[in-house]
């Protein structure tokens, strides 16, 4: 959750046709999940002022590889310290296409719209954001690039910003998974806002859709810039506990 160069477009188009054939015998499905997290962080920055959040989503996957879905979370970053802002929820709507190149490489391309309903004062930059994304996975590694087609989360003039993410996920001891991630956010026209985030974590699958995960998340975001009205540094390293149920 990308820039569309002509050569990349052609490659994706050819691969999409191949993926349609490869997925033809797979059934369509609907899945979802609900989670309680001790702190909702997005690209390493807290969205809830270090407080818990309730989250949930639903997704439809077609036999062809096309998918569409929605996801929501409680937030406070827009209203923290701002009496004239009422937004307290993030709603994401996304759609894309996933497939494979051969037996070992997977890809995912799509769009994600981040919607922050609420009331805002006159002159407030709209925080709603549209991003395109493209990812490639090989073995336990995934590389993903997100590209903002609008102002980036209320940063005026930041259309064209990008986020590059490298992640690793490795199962071990049957029901456990180790996850690692490093990402880089570039803010177009405001390089002082650029930063890197990273995380390490483990998750446990208890069966019947229940899961538990623990992760450490940190950033090198500039403290003088990424501090909210309550004096909380949004990019401070923190441990995050997540309880989840999928269906």
User: Is the pLDDT reported for residue 4 higher than 60?
Assistant: no
- pLDDT, residue 8, reads 31
- If you average pLDDT over residues 54-73, what whole number do you get? 98
Nearest to 177 by CA among 168, 165, 187: 168
Nearest to 107 by CA among 138, 85, 131: 138
pLDDT in tens, 106-139: 999 999 999 999 999 998 999 999 999 999 999 9
Nearest to 205 by CA among 175, 179, 177: 175
- pLDDT, residue 123, reads 87
Calpha distance 203→226 (Å, rounded): 29
Calpha distance 63→132 (Å, rounded): 22
User: How many angstroms from the chain centroid is the CA of residue 31?
Assistant: 18
Calpha distance 197→247 (Å, rounded): 30
Beta bridge partners of 246: 33
With contact defined as beta carbons under 8 Å apart, do 155 and 142 qualify?
A: no
Which of 2.60.40.420, 2.40.70.10, 3.40.50.10470, 2.40.160.40 is the CATH number of 6-246? 2.40.160.40
Work out the widest C-alpha separation in the chain, in whole angstroms: 55
State pTM to two decimals.
Answer: 0.88
pLDDT in tens, 23-41: 445 689 999 999 999 999 9
User: Is the pLDDT reported for residue 242 higher than 90?
Assistant: yes
Containing H/E element for 18? helix 6-22
For 146, the token pair is: 């997100």
């Amino acid at each position: 959750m990308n820039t569309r160069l002509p050569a990349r477009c052609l490659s994706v188009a050819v691969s999409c046709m191949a993926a349609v054939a490869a997925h033809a015998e797979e059934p369509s499905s609907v899945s979802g999940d609900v989670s309680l997290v001790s702190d909702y962080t997005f690209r390493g920055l807290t969205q809830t002022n270090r407080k818990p959040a309730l989250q949930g989503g639903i997704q439809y996957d077609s036999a062809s590889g096309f998918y569409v879905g929605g996801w929501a979370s409680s937030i406070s970053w827009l209203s923290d310290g701002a009496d004239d802002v009422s937004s307290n929820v993030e709603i994401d709507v996304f759609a894309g296409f996933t497939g494979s190149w051969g037996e070992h490489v997977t890809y995912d391309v799509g769009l994600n719209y981040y919607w922050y309903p609420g009331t805002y004062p006159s002159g407030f930059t709209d925080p709603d954001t549209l991003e395109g994304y493209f990812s490639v996975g090989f073995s336990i590694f995934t590389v993903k690039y997100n590209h903002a087609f609008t102002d980036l989360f209320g940063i005026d003039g930041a259309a064209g910003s990008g986020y590059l993410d490298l992640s690793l996920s490795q199962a071990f001891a049957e029901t456990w998974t180790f996850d690692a991630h490093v990402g880089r956010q570039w803010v177009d026209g405001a390089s002082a806002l650029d930063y890197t985030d990273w995380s390490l974590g483990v998750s446990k699958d208890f069966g019947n859709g229940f899961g538990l995960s623990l992760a450490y998340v940190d950033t090198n975001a500039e403290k003088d810039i990424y501090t909210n009205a309550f004096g909380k540094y949004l990019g401070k390293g923190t441990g995050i506990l997540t309880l989840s149920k999928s269906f």
